[in-house]
A and B are shown apart, each in its own frame.
Chain A
């Protein structure tokens, strides 16, 4: 009897404490617990995947590291939470994670009905089709009647259905929740083609038993701006995540790399002085250390470095900068002034 009463009071207290915690700012929560909970893909080569030593690597992972550096001055104050496409938004809504860097496409529905805010896009992508060369298909328009492997709960699932409907074709989806299981089924020939973002297809092809047996069809059937996302209702946290992501791009624009960042401290360019915190202001405005951007470049690098080491032409993914080049090089990567 006594025990039951104690347990009941404890349960009530837990409920109230949880409710109390949810109302504090995310930045305070994160600082109090000493790490950021980051939702990532459970295994996508080039974007987020643990290497053979169990260290998470990838473009999305490096974006998360930039946020960690901005908040804590260290790139490893992160708890990585591997999420499937289906569970990722619920995990963010419920507060299980503080930020989602999991190649998620920014859409109107997700920004409104799902209660999320996407920050700076860290990869401009588009949906394509990966198909075995042996089928002899040259264009996505020839895919009528094909069996299509697709992940559940993604924009790709809708895009594929829309594309086939718009072109008067039929498809048979095979929907498997886990990315590696889906790839296995595709390589074994369960489906005629695999549809996903082109970057993901490159990543999947790179781990194929024989990558040269597969081609990506020329049609890109959608726009997929991928970027980190946070919950509605915490503007301060949004700004930090947003500008940590933007800092990578700004650094590349300013010509600052992880190698020359220390020399750049001596630069007389006011833009660089403000960016690196030599002249103070930006850090205080964000509620961060004035060295935040310097630390990001020093410990993570600039966007160009991050891109080339994870997905660039010298990696197995062999992806060109394309849309992801700086605006000065004909791409879409453009940031507002850091002042």
Chain B
């Protein structure tokens, strides 16, 4: 390892003699060697696995996806029966995972931001409460929290025949929260389209208003106009479509409620557990982000006459977000991955459904590969989106 006086590349005419001692050549050779080793190891593991499966006559391949699943799934976003294929069963599981992760992430960010800000509050009580929340929920394993909330729901709430009825059309029992929804009518689809149209309109109006502000310095009331569009357009559509008011009210029939929409205790427990746990981490991320912006920035913004809301929106948040977004991304990924704990409390997420499929077909390797693939896709797309957002939020130097 003694440093030799080898001629550096760049100095005149390095002697060609030492092919093996050329750092570049060596670098390439090491890379090839490493790649070959990894490749060989992978090949060995693969062929060994296949040979063993063959020897024990265990079925292989993804052909089972076409076969009839023959098992029921407790809750599903799409219509599913036991007569459908494994593929559809797995799709149901994947959608359930997406549902709980998506809603979970949205609520977590909102709750986490509130608690993070509350933690910085000058009000002693508010700040202490936020600190206690963060410490308690951060420090208890999330699986334990899930068991707690699930047991809380099924132990505390009465059976369907003694369901609580806090207001007309809403029932709360150990089968879940069941509430009435407007009965099916084409008007609801038109209203959704009208809402989307409103969103597009608001986007263009805001762009136009900003450009105008750049040119003339005039600030237009885009907030009020936008709100009016977002609420007004769907309302007008509803009125034009004949103002349907029929409701689909749940009623106790046989063992359970029929009609309406129900939120199962499994879903509620999983969502609550994941949100409360992850929000504690997000709160700390938000607090760190806000504290990273020096106090001088606030004072400078105030001194040029910005209102407190504008100080937060135009000066503090854009700088804080740069610090917040990267760790926030990893918290979002954590929540998505932790949703696989659903299997412990009976929510049919992807891991739970895939687990049943593995057991019925015996194809553990394919099943686990599918699980890894689905979580990889979820995680990579979340990362990709957040990276894009992060780039957008970067400090643009002018």
Contacts and interface: CB of A to CB of B under 8 A. Distances in A.
B355 A145 contact: no
A144 B364 contact: no
Given A158-B71, A175-B346, A232 B57 contact: yes
A233 B55 contact: yes
Q: Name the interface size band of chain A.
A: 35 or more
B72 A147 contact: no
A175 B55 contact: no
A89 interface: yes
Contacts of A173: 71-74
Nearest to A143: B255
A259 B130 CA distance: 69
B260 interface: no
Contact of B256 (A112, A147, A160): A147
B256 A172 contact: yes
Contact of B266 (A22, A86, A174, A178): A174
A116 to B, nearest CB: 8
Nearest to B254: A145
Contact of B74 (A15, A86, A162, A172): A172
B82 interface: yes
Nearest to B58: A115
Contacts of A233: 55-56
A147 B161 CA distance: 14
Contacts of B53: 115
Interface in A120-161: 135, 143-147, 152-154, 157-158, 160-161
Nearest to B361: A113
A85 interface: yes
A158 B70 contact: yes
Contacts of A52: none
B59 interface: yes
Given A19-B48, A113-B361, A176-B345, A161 B58 contact: no
A211 B150 CA distance: 24
A145 B253 contact: yes
A20 to B, nearest CB: 11
B240 to A, nearest CB: 38
Given A145-B255, A161-B82, A174-B346, A231 B359 contact: no
Contacts of A192: 255-256
Interface stretch (A59-67, A180-188, A220-228, A274-282): A180-188
B155 interface: yes
Contacts of A153: 355-356, 358-360
Contact of A93 (B58, B81, B258): B58
A146 B255 contact: yes
B255 A114 contact: no
B274 to A, nearest CB: 18
B71 A189 contact: no
Interface string B69-93: 0111110000001110000000000
A219 B123 CA distance: 65
A177 B343 contact: yes
Contacts of B48: 19
Interface in A173-211: 173-178, 181-182, 184-185, 188-190, 192
Interface in B260-307: 265-266
B180 interface: no
B265 A115 contact: no
A267 interface: no
B133 interface: no
Nearest to B156: A188
B244 interface: no
B344 interface: yes
A171 interface: yes
A109 interface: yes
B82 A174 contact: no
A165 B83 contact: yes
Interface in B30-85: 37, 41, 44-45, 48, 52-53, 55-59, 70-74, 81-83
Interface in B120-156: 147, 150-151, 154-155
B348 interface: yes
A315 interface: no
Given A145-B255, A153-B355, A188-B155, A178 B344 contact: yes
Interface of B: 37, 41, 44-45, 48, 52-53, 55-59, 70-74, 81-83, 147, 150-151, 154-155, 159, 174-175, 253-256, 258, 265-266, 343-346, 348, 352, 355-356, 358-364
Top 6 A-B pairs, shortest CB-CB distance:
A153-B359, A114-B362, A115-B56, A115-B58, A161-B82, A176-B346
Interface of A: 8, 12, 15, 19, 22, 85-86, 89-90, 93, 109-110, 112-115, 135, 143-147, 152-154, 157-158, 160-162, 164-165, 171-178, 181-182, 184-185, 188-190, 192, 231-233
11 contacts: A113-B361, A115-B53, A145-B256, A152-B355, A153-B360, A158-B360, A162-B82, A165-B81, A175-B356, A190-B174, A192-B255
